Amino acid sequence: MNPTTSPIDEFLASVASKRVAPAGGTVAAVAGAMGASLCEMVCIHTLENDEYAAVSAETADLREEFRRRRGRLLDLAAADATVVEESFSEAAGELERSDRKRSVGVPLAIADACGAVLESAVTVIETGNRNAVADAATGAFLVDAALRSALFTARENLSLVSDPSSLEETERRLDGIESRADDARERAAARLDERT
């Protein structure tokens, strides 16, 4: 089941099945892509309204960034489904070293991409079309939930990593993503209070 090409009802039915994939990481990446698409939509409505001409250049750049991040998250959704399928198909439960690394690397990449969307969502909440601020907030909330899920999954899968230096570096990266996300979440909440 390819989450990037399946109708939403088929994708959800596949998640809610006895299959091992798609699973949590795939769903988190798709949720992150949905959040990015909502923020992208707010950019479009902002660009179409002359009242927001002063922020049009920044908004156009953000629109393109959200589009790219949406595509990246969908690619990561497919990658996660592949990793899970391959991991559960390994003979006698012995994962190859590359599978172990990918079981951490893919959710780490999902969290990183979601973090970038969340940070940019703060600007859209602050400067985007006021009539669409609820959509920007919904996008930020979805991305935040996806990010937290991906961080949790990556940390759970760290037990599969045996290389101490790789483990330490990955933990450092996860902590950095989480710290930036915490800051972005606080800034988004403050901007929402100001605009609603």
Q: Which domains does the chain have, with CATH numbers?
A: 8-195 (1.20.120.680)
Strand ranges (DSSP E) for 48-108?
A: none
Say yes or no to pLDDT of 48 above 70: yes
Distance CA 160, CA 186 (A): 33
Distance CA 195, CA 140 (A): 15
Distance CA 148, CA 142 (A): 10
CA distances from 128 to 45, 62, 121, 192 (A): 8, 11, 10, 11
Distance CA 65, CA 130 (A): 20
Average of pLDDT values for 22-29? 96
Say yes or no to pLDDT of 49 above 50: yes
Residue 18 has what DSSP assignment?
Answer: S
Helix (H) or strand (E) holding 20: none
Average of pLDDT values for 108-117? 99
* Helices marked H in 128-163: 133-157
Mean of per-residue pLDDT scores for the chain: 93
Say yes or no to pLDDT of 10 above 90: yes
pTM equals 0.93
CA dihedral sign, ordered 175, 29, 126, 47: positive
Distance CA 43, CA 59 (A): 6
Closest CA to 187 of 131, 144, 135, 129: 144
Say which residues have a Cβ less than 8 Å from residue 54's Cβ, sequence separation at least 6: none
Residue 97's pLDDT is what? 61
Residue 92's pLDDT is what? 42
Contact yes or no for 26/80 (Cβ under 8 A):
yes
> 92 in the Ramachandran plot: left (φ > 0), alpha (ψ -120 to 50) or beta?
left
Average of pLDDT values for 103-117? 97
Residue 91's pLDDT is what? 53
Say yes or no to pLDDT of 171 above 90: yes
The proportion of the chain whose per-residue pLDDT surpasses 70, expressed as a percent, equals: 94
Interval 126-150: pLDDT, tens: 999 999 999 999 999 999 999 999 9
